[in-house]
Structure 1
Amino acid sequence: MGVFGFFRRNRYEQLGYELYGAAVAAARDPWLYASLGVPDTLDGRFDLVGLHTFLVIRRLQRDPAPGPALAQAVFDAMFTDMDVNLREMGVGDLSVGKKVKIMWEAFHGRAQAYGRALDQEDEAELAAALARNVWRGQPDAGGAARLAVLARAQDRHLAGQDLTGGRVAFLPAAEAAGAAPA
């Protein structure tokens, strides 16, 4: 056993990173920014990564074991990535923890709001939550309503997939939103 043998990794860690990576890729679809008007800012990108990651975690939490453990691994991957990104952006070591905590709290609040709206099949509530978070309550020219349609379509699409192997396929954003590609 080498020096690093003492540090045992969670057996779902790699799968969590793979699923998180797919959520990030889906959140980076240029169509979301160009056609829906999602702000192409750090906050806008965080919100879309959070939305797509939430959908993966939501899906996994509904599965029997190892679903919940894998959901935790996806969550852990997201916030490890946020920590690394903050450090790469030059945020000082002493404030990274506080900033990650704020991001965690924001993600948690959004996940609760989005989950409640999806569970109740309340498109208006989901669009309102997205408008409040993604656009910070600013006019969105219908982007929040279209993003709500997209989120529901992705949620349904994910329901038919087995994610326990670390693979997830998101619908192309324009297709999920019910629009022709820009």
Structure 2
Amino acid sequence: MVLGRFFGRDPLKEPARALYESVVLQARQPMFYDRCGVPDSVDGRFDLIVLHAFLVMNRLKKEPQRSSNLSQALFDLLFMDMDLSLREMGVGDVGVGTRIKTMVQAFYGRISAYESGLKEGDAALKAALERNLFGTTEASPAQLDAIAVYAKTVAAELAGQDMEQLLQGHVVFPALPEDLPGSGTAA
């Protein structure tokens, strides 16, 4: 693998890119913003990408000996894309480094909170989502319930997905339910 990177052929590049593209595509679903009240802002979009990246990485870490390098490649790609996005938004070189450092710290904090939330149950998961995903706005209890149900559903679905498929970059997120609790008006 090191030689592959040295000579320009990284076997993890394509699977990581495919996983990342799936994460971003899922995080861009209008339902999260229109019906679940996630802020349609730079922060809200970042937080939805982080939530979905966490869910994929959480699945990958169930077999770390096989997937830790792919998980790292996914992380690296996520923050290379964030770097590029900040530059496209006009943030200067000095500002990009500072913002990326802050985003990485936020990422690790959210990962820890979401891991604890999935382990400790609904109250902990909802608190983590409210603090992070809805940090700049106030979600209704029904919207918070909807996102918590969604996160648990995705975690359960990903747990059943074939690791070989994931290692090849194929992830399938469950269909977004049309009748999510709280899918009425935004907060």
TM over 0.5: yes
Name the residue aligned to 1:158: 158
Q: Note the alpha carbon deviations across 1:132-152, whole angstroms, 9 max, x for none.
A: 112217431122221111001
Name the residue aligned to 1:27: 27
| TM-score between both structures, scaled by the size of structure 1 | 0.89
Measured in 2, the distance between the counterparts of 1:25 and 1:176 equals 21
Name the residue aligned to 2:104: 104
Contact 1:150 1:176 (8 Å CA) reproduced: no
Aligned CA distance change for structure 1 residues 98 and 149 (closer, same or farther; 3 Å): same
Measured in 2, the distance between the counterparts of 1:89 and 1:77 equals 18
Measured in 1, the distance between the counterparts of 2:36 and 2:133 equals 11
Identity %: 43
**3-state SS of 1:171 partner:** coil
Alignment-mate amino acid for residue 68 of structure 1:
S
Contact 1:16 1:166 (8 Å CA) reproduced: yes
**3-state SS of 2:11 partner:** coil
| Cα offset, 1:66, TM superposition | 2.5
The residue correspondences of 1:26-175 to structure 2 (distance < 5 A) are 26-120=26-120, 122-136=121-135, 138-142=137-141, 143-162=143-162, 163-174=166-177
Measured in 1, the distance between the counterparts of 2:52 and 2:140 equals 22
Aligned CA distance change for structure 1 residues 169 and 178 (closer, same or farther; 3 Å): farther
Q: Note the alpha carbon deviations across 1:41-64, whole angstroms, 9 max, x for none.
A: 110111001000111111111114
Q: Note the alpha carbon deviations across 1:80-134, whole angstroms, 9 max, x for none.
A: 11011111111101211111110010011000000011123x1111111111112
Contact 1:60 1:71 (8 Å CA) reproduced: yes
Please report the RMSD computed on the Cα atoms of aligned residues, expressed in angstroms.
2.2
Measured in 2, the distance between the counterparts of 1:151 and 1:79 equals 22
Alignment-mate amino acid for residue 66 of structure 1:
R
Alignment-mate amino acid for residue 139 of structure 1:
E
Aligned CA distance change for structure 1 residues 103 and 31 (closer, same or farther; 3 Å): same
**3-state SS of 1:151 partner:** helix
Q: State the aligned residue count.
A: 177
Alignment-mate amino acid for residue 141 of structure 1:
S
Give ranges in structure 1 of 5+ residues lacking alignment. Answer: none
Alignment-mate amino acid for residue 20 of structure 2:
Y
Give ranges in structure 2 of 5+ residues lacking alignment. Answer: none
Q: Note the alpha carbon deviations across 1:146-171, whole angstroms, 9 max, x for none.
A: 11110010001011112111100101
**3-state SS of 2:19 partner:** helix
Measured in 2, the distance between the counterparts of 1:59 and 1:175 equals 25
Measured in 2, the distance between the counterparts of 1:45 and 1:64 equals 28
